Structure 1
Amino acid sequence: MSTFTIFLALIVVVAFLLVVVIMVQNPKGGGLSSSFGGGGTQQLGGVKKTTDFLDKSTWTLATLLLVLILVSNVAISRGGETLDSKALDTDATTTQPLPSTTPLQTTNDDAPATAKDTAQ
């Protein structure tokens, strides 16, 4: 199993967890946090702590996802290809054919009209 495959699997898992954490949140204060502490009674950490946990976990997972994506770029196999520019290679020979030195032949039909041709 290559390193890139491991990074890809981690990216998929973190992205799935991030979607789950975001879907649990409700922008108006409802969602999971209201089911734990709604109605004025304090249960299982209360509303404020659940909201703080969801907010911190969202930022943590988003940061982790970004870092995994950036680090996975290093793990991509390049196939032994060098990253140097071919334009900087002084040993390279050109394989382009040289232009021919024979002039193009023109016929009278292709030549521009002269005053002598128009007088006839």
Structure 2
Amino acid sequence: MSTFTIFLALIVVVAFLLIVVIMVQNPKGGGLSSSFGGGGTQQLGGVKKTTDFLDKSTWTLATLLLVLILASNVAISSGNETVDSKALDPDATTQPLPATPLPTTNNNADTTTAKDSAQ
């Protein structure tokens, strides 16, 4: 398993967690804190604490996602594997295609021979 594959798996997990945290939030302050309902929320940490936690976790996951993306870019460029694509290989030489002349056909000659043979 290459380093890039590990970074890719971590990026997918962090992106999924970031989506979940953002979807749980409510722009008006309801979100997860209002789903517990009533006085029980005050015992769990309060509405303000839940909003702070979701806000901090959003920024933390977004920062972690950015760092993982940049680190995966470094992992790609420092790989010692061979390049399979000629487009990515700077040492590859391209050879021009040989110029082949197109066959010329005389449309009048073809139609007259077809008419002559049909008669």
The bucket for the TM-score relative to the shorter chain is: 0.5 to 0.7
SS at match of 2:43: coil
Structure 1 stretches lacking a partner, 5+ long: 87-120
Task: Give the superposition deviation at 1:31.
Answer: 1.2
Q: Which has the higher helix share?
A: 2
Q: In the alignment, which residue of structure 2 is the partner of 1:46?
A: 46
Structure 2 stretches lacking a partner, 5+ long: 84-89, 92-119
Q: In structure 2, do the counterparts of structure 1 residues 58 and 49 end up closer, same or farther at CA, with 3 Å as the change threshold?
A: same
Aligned residues: 86
Is the 1:37–1:47 contact (alpha carbons within 8 Å) kept by the matching residues of 2? Answer: no
Task: Give the superposition deviation at 1:35.
Answer: 2.6
Q: In structure 2, do the counterparts of structure 1 residues 53 and 37 end up closer, same or farther at CA, with 3 Å as the change threshold?
A: farther
Give the share of equivalent positions with the same residue, in percent: 89
Q: In the alignment, which residue of structure 2 is the partner of 1:66?
A: 66
SS at match of 2:8: helix
TM-score (norm 1): 0.61
Q: In structure 2, do the counterparts of structure 1 residues 37 and 51 end up closer, same or farther at CA, with 3 Å as the change threshold?
A: farther
Which structure has more relative contact order (CA 8 Å, sep 6+)? It is 2
The amino acid across from 1:42 in the alignment is Q
Q: Which whole-Å deviations, capped at 9, do the CAs of 1:68-117 have from their partners, x for residues lacking one?
A: 00010011137457xxx99xxxxxxxxxxxxxxxxxxxxxxxxxxxxxxx
* 2:17 corresponds to 1:17: yes
TM-score (norm 2): 0.62
Q: In structure 2, do the counterparts of structure 1 residues 41 and 11 end up closer, same or farther at CA, with 3 Å as the change threshold?
A: closer
* Counterpart Cα distance in 2 of 1:42 and 1:4: 44
Is the 2:25–2:31 contact (alpha carbons within 8 Å) kept by the matching residues of 1? Answer: yes
Q: In the alignment, which residue of structure 2 is the partner of 1:31?
A: 31
Is the 1:4–1:72 contact (alpha carbons within 8 Å) kept by the matching residues of 2? Answer: yes
SS at match of 1:27: coil
Stretches of 4+ aligned residues off by more than 2 angstroms: 35-41, 77-81
Alpha-carbon RMSD across the aligned residues, in angstroms, is: 2.8
Q: Which whole-Å deviations, capped at 9, do the CAs of 1:12-47 have from their partners, x for residues lacking one?
A: 000000000000000011110123464696220000
